[in-house]
């Protein structure tokens, strides 16, 4: 039979137990060999284990930093059940400790990015899918720990005039323009609504990511007016 050691609270993930660090679990498994968790093994049957693997598993949306408790994490016994004089220890696996560091980023460019497009002449557009020559670029500025994987996701209302999920709808306001939408770009590629984009693995320290806004024609005919949009950029790091 085998049993867990110092970590006994099961997480919502199968075979993963909570550690003393919030959001971090542990899973212990056999790599070579077989352990059968049975009360009685027939005479002449063999059980053997050559390697045991311990894995740390993220169990929550945000894992914390901390030092792992040390101690017994798995015990394998053979005999007549727990607390029996005929039960003898076969293998014990100990965790000697370790540290978990949660990588993080902090926002340096404020909680909002503005793209003042100004007045864009209608003759910049001539057919559906045409994009404006007028663009505006604003930098998303972060300060990240080294090796943090930085991702962004665009959240907003898709323009109903097109199936292109990179085109944002204009805000519903008086005297609003029609026949156009707005795109946000990174590295000259439009950001897709509700799709995660990996920016980079941070070298550590200040990082700057240029985000560009432009208009795109969505109908055959454009009517001039106010052309504003609101969206959210979710920044995540791992």
- Cα–chain center distance at 7: 26
Of 49, 65, 100, the domain-final residue: 100
pLDDT band at 46 (very low <50, low <70, confident <90, very high): low
Torsion of the alpha carbons at 213, 219, 225 and 228, rounded to the nearest 10 = -30
Give the residue, 112 or 184, on which the prediction is more confident: 184
Give yes or no: residues 51 and 159 share one domain.
no
Judged by DSSP in three states, 34 sits in strand
pLDDT recorded at residue 49 = 59
CATH number at residue 207: 2.60.40.1090
Q: Answer whether residue 36 shows pLDDT above 60.
A: no
Give yes or no: residues 70 and 109 share one domain.
no
Point out the least confidently predicted range of 39-43, 78-82, 117-121, 185-189: 39-43
Query: Rounded to two decimals, what is the model's pTM?
Result: 0.65
Give yes or no: residues 134 and 210 share one domain.
yes
Number of domains in the chain: 2
Average pLDDT score over residue span 207-227: 96
Give yes or no: residues 6 and 68 share one domain.
yes
Count of C-beta atoms within a 10 Å radius of residue 105? 17
Give yes or no: residues 91 and 21 share one domain.
yes
pLDDT recorded at residue 37 = 47
Give yes or no: residues 24 and 111 share one domain.
no
Give yes or no: residues 91 and 183 share one domain.
no
Determine contact, residues 26/55, Cβ cutoff 8 Å. Answer: yes
Average pLDDT score over residue span 100-104: 81
Question: What percent of the chain clears pLDDT 70, i.e. is strictly above it?
Answer: 88
Range of the domain at 85: 2-100
Give yes or no: residues 118 and 233 share one domain.
yes
Give yes or no: residues 86 and 109 share one domain.
no
Give yes or no: residues 190 and 143 share one domain.
yes
Q: Answer whether residue 220 shows pLDDT above 90.
A: yes
Task: Please give the C-alpha separations between residue 43 and each of 46, 47, 79, in angstroms, as whole numbers.
Answer: 9, 11, 12
Of 53, 78, 100, the domain-final residue: 100
Give yes or no: residues 81 and 119 share one domain.
no
For the segment 131-184, what is each residue's pLDDT rounded down to a tens digit? Answer: 999 999 999 999 998 888 999 999 999 999 999 999 999 999 999 999 999 999
Of 80, 100, 120, the domain-final residue: 100
Give yes or no: residues 91 and 116 share one domain.
no
Structure tokens belonging to residue 177: 């323009």
pLDDT recorded at residue 42 = 52
């Amino acid at each position: 039979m085998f049993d867990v050691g110092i970590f006994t609270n099961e997480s919502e993930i199968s075979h993963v137990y909570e550690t003393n660090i919030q959001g971090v679990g542990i899973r212990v498994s056999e790599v070579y060999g077989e352990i059968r968790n049975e009360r009685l093994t027939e005479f002449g049957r063999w059980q053997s284990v050559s390697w045991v693997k311990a894995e740390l598993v993220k169990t929550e949306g945000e894992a914390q930093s901390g030092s792992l408790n040390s101690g017994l994490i798995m015990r394998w016994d053979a005999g007549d059940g727990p607390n029996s004089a005929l039960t003898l220890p076969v293998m014990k696996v100990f965790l000697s400790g370790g540290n978990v560091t949660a990588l993080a980023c902090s926002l340096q460019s404020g909680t909002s990015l503005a793209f003042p497009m100004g007045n864009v002449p209608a003759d910049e557009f001539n057919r559906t899918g045409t994009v404006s020559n007028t663009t505006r670029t604003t930098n998303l500025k972060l300060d990240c720990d080294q090796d943090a994987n930085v991702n962004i996701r665009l959240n907003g209302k898709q323009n109903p005039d097109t199936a292109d999920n990179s085109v944002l709808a204009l805000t519903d306001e008086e005297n609003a323009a029609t026949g156009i939408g707005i795109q946000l770009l990174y590295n000259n590629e439009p950001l897709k609504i509700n799709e995660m984009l990996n920016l980079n693995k941070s070298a550590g320290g200040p990082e700057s990511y240029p985000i560009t806004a432009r208009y795109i024609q969505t109908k055959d005919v454009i009517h001039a007016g106010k052309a504003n949009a609101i969206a959210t950029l979710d920044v995540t790091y791992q």
